A and B are shown apart, each in its own frame.
Chain A
């Protein structure tokens, strides 16, 4: 019960804080133009692809007991921060989700017609009235969905709880499942907890899916300002907010790079096999997820819309619950070690499915509307149609989606922690174990390799898609 309460509390707090902080950040980004704004907005999408364990490592380095923030506090005669427990979990979740919410609100800003801003200014509305008539209605439309999405993501965020939570006071249900399976060997208790987590997710999803919107990746945020932005203290406030947010987002990454570079020199030998396993998993999971999403999107585009449910369902499922189910199913018969990689592959591909499906569906529908009859009338079917029409026409979203799936799988630290022993360790798991052993230098080095590979995979796939995108 303590685990249930903590799970709900941290998810609610994370959603609340992320939304509250995202509002001024999005406002600042919406009404100011400065050098590097485009880059900053693009970077806001990065935490979604950032391996969670790397984010945690960076946050530990900045906000941990021996980090610069604690040092500054000590200079003021204050006690050092501890980022383990509730506030650590919430801090990590805010770090990961604030950019997501800020991008959602920014898109809301973008959708307000320029005429409405000009009308407000020509009516001489003071900024407070502009807030009530322009910003507030947009926030009311966007925030419930954004908050519900963050809440859901935080309910099933195992890696953060694993690295920053723990102990009776700060244990989520998923962490309790992990402990029951991994250390206490109480499959009955694990099954009970998994059922509880499943019920919780299903219940919350039932309510939240009404507003929850999976993150969109649209760009086009560069339109010119419809009206001049207010001057005076508001300019200063926007500047402070944007600077602070940039610092919060960049500092942990910067620290990982700084600490990782020397660590690269003496990486433990176990990094390379772990990297190999992670890469194979990422490529296989990207292939599997793209295949599933393509098949489902084609079926839904052809009118079997009930399949949309099965494509979106993994959004509410928890990878760890799926993994526990598979663990319990195979446990007596097969060693978990042997199953670690296949199960992780299946779960990773499934978890990426909703995002890929959302990317592919509109393009698949357009393809069918534009060229479906032409293809049918020419007798184009099966593999020939896939090769000659579908793949070339959908190369761009397919490349982007494959990159997304590969990066998500590359950085995933979920089911693998349940199953893996020494010989099936992936790179994120290795980073977590190095951190657990307080080998921070080595952990940072491995984390740097991990980040580089994640982003490189995403970049390569995305480039491939853009290059093969048919003219």
Chain B
């Protein structure tokens, strides 16, 4: 279970609070108007934003852990791959941050690349990949790291609708197999419906507790109503 206990993030004039928990293995959409703090919430979980209150995973406070040691992987909006490293190296960082890769590691990487549809792309550099392929490579790395939480900060926002749906299906499929808990920032209600059974609304300085996505979108509170334009 992922718990936010009296979480409070303050940055200049910005303020966001959250006090709820997410069951293990859930898929949660984080939606709300831009600038409300959706990304900031994820960055706090990942260890990049200082905060008051506690963030716990399976009852253990994450505060003392540096970002790389937290039980989570994160996909950023962009800059998910190092442009000077090959796809294999970029994905290999998920197994060994020093890139000391054994033959066993390499065959694992190849298998994962194949699983996300990137077989035979391992030798390429990110500059030679399409947007969708970059997303797949980043996802492959997250799969290899095999952390129990996956945070998606709109990594597929720049893709077209069909490609984005394809990527979300891939994430859903792999998360189902590994049993990972997924939190996904999105500003698209259709993505939320498609991907997540639960949704967290971030608006007016509060990240409200997760509730069933369909119900939330069917009967939106005023803040969400204004954002959706209904």
**Chain A interface (Cβ < 8 Å from any Cβ of B):** 370-371, 373-374, 376-381, 383-384, 388-389, 392-393, 470-471
Q: How far is the CA of A378 from the CA of B85 in the complex (A)?
A: 14
Residues B79 and A371 in contact, CB atoms below 8 Å apart = yes
Residues B99 and A384 in contact, CB atoms below 8 Å apart = yes
Residues A376 and B68 in contact, CB atoms below 8 Å apart = yes
Q: How far is the CA of A176 from the CA of B73 in the complex (A)?
A: 65
Residues B68 and A378 in contact, CB atoms below 8 Å apart = yes
Interface residues as binary, B72-115 with A (CB distance below 8 Å gives 1, 0 otherwise): 01101001101111000000011001110000000000000000
Residues B66 and A370 in contact, CB atoms below 8 Å apart = no
Q: How far is the CA of A471 from the CA of B82 in the complex (A)?
A: 10
Residues B127 and A471 in contact, CB atoms below 8 Å apart = yes
Pick the contact of A378 from B48, B79, B84, B93 — CB < 8 Å?
B93
Residues B48 and A379 in contact, CB atoms below 8 Å apart = no
Q: Which residues of B contact A370 (CB under 8 A)?
A: 79
4 extra interface residue pairs, beta carbon distance < 8 Å, beyond A378-B141, A383-B98: A373-B48, A389-B82, A392-B84, A393-B84
Q: Which residues of B contact A393 (CB under 8 A)?
A: 82, 84
Pick the contact of B66 from A374, A376, A392, A470 — CB < 8 Å?
A376
Give the A-B pair count, Cβ closer than 8 A: 59
Q: How far is the CA of A378 from the CA of B84 in the complex (A)?
A: 16
Pick the contact of A376 from B47, B73, B79, B82 — CB < 8 Å?
B47
The minimal Cβ–Cβ distance linking A407 to chain B, given in whole angstroms, is 27
Task: Across the A-B interface, give the 10 residue pairs with the lowest CB-CB distance, nearest first.
Answer: A379-B68, A470-B84, A384-B98, A376-B67, A392-B84, A379-B97, A380-B97, A377-B67, A378-B93, A377-B74
B166 lies within 8 A of chain A by Cβ: no
Pick the contact of A470 from B43, B47, B83 — CB < 8 Å?
B83
Q: How far is the CA of A40 from the CA of B72 in the complex (A)?
A: 56
Q: Which single residue of chain A is at the shortest CB-CB distance from B74?
A: A377
Residues B84 and A380 in contact, CB atoms below 8 Å apart = no
B54 lies within 8 A of chain A by Cβ: no
Q: How far is the CA of A374 from the CA of B94 in the complex (A)?
A: 11
Q: Which residues of A contact B73 (CB under 8 A)?
A: 377
What are 17 inter-chain pairs, A to B, with CB distance below 8 A? A371-B79, A374-B79, A376-B47, A376-B48, A377-B68, A378-B68, A378-B94, A378-B97, A378-B141, A380-B68, A381-B68, A383-B98, A384-B97, A392-B85, A470-B84, A471-B125, A471-B127
Residues A374 and B83 in contact, CB atoms below 8 Å apart = no
User: In the complex where A374-B82, A380-B93 touch, is A388 in contact with B99 (Cβ < 8 A)?
Assistant: yes
Q: Which single residue of chain A is at the shortest CB-CB distance from B100?
A: A384
Q: How far is the CA of A374 from the CA of B68 in the complex (A)?
A: 9
Q: Which single residue of chain A is at the shortest CB-CB distance from B93?
A: A378
B137 lies within 8 A of chain A by Cβ: no
Interface residues as binary, B98-142 with A (CB distance below 8 Å gives 1, 0 otherwise): 110000000000000000000000000101000000000000010
The minimal Cβ–Cβ distance linking A465 to chain B, given in whole angstroms, is 13
B69 lies within 8 A of chain A by Cβ: yes
Q: How far is the CA of A374 from the CA of B76 in the complex (A)?
A: 8
Q: Which single residue of chain B is at the shortest CB-CB distance from A391?
A: B84
Residues B93 and A471 in contact, CB atoms below 8 Å apart = no
B 161-176 contacts with A by CB, 8 A: none
Q: Which residues of B contact A388 (CB under 8 A)?
A: 82, 85, 93, 98-99
Residues B69 and A379 in contact, CB atoms below 8 Å apart = yes
Residues A373 and B76 in contact, CB atoms below 8 Å apart = yes
Q: Which residues of A contact B141 (CB under 8 A)?
A: 378
Q: How far is the CA of A384 from the CA of B127 in the complex (A)?
A: 23
Q: Which residues of B contact A376 (CB under 8 A)?
A: 47-48, 66-68
Interface residues as binary, B165-191 with A (CB distance below 8 Å gives 1, 0 otherwise): 000000000000000000000000000
B46 lies within 8 A of chain A by Cβ: yes
Q: Which residues of A contact B93 (CB under 8 A)?
A: 378, 380, 388
The minimal Cβ–Cβ distance linking B45 to chain A, given in whole angstroms, is 11
Residues B125 and A374 in contact, CB atoms below 8 Å apart = no
Q: How far is the CA of A470 from the CA of B85 in the complex (A)?
A: 8
The minimal Cβ–Cβ distance linking B93 to chain A, given in whole angstroms, is 5
Q: How far is the CA of A419 from the CA of B7 in the complex (A)?
A: 63
User: In the complex where A384-B97, A470-B84 touch, is A377 in contact with B127 (Cβ < 8 A)?
Assistant: no
Q: Which residues of A contact B83 (CB under 8 A)?
A: 470-471
The minimal Cβ–Cβ distance linking A327 to chain B, given in whole angstroms, is 45
Q: Which residues of A contact B85 (CB under 8 A)?
A: 388, 392
Q: How far is the CA of A3 from the CA of B144 in the complex (A)?
A: 71
Interface residues as binary, B42-64 with A (CB distance below 8 Å gives 1, 0 otherwise): 01001110000000000000000
Q: Which residues of B contact A384 (CB under 8 A)?
A: 97-99
Q: Which residues of A contact B68 (CB under 8 A)?
A: 376-381
Q: How far is the CA of A471 from the CA of B125 in the complex (A)?
A: 9
Q: Which single residue of chain A is at the shortest CB-CB distance from B89?
A: A388
The minimal Cβ–Cβ distance linking A15 to chain B, given in whole angstroms, is 43
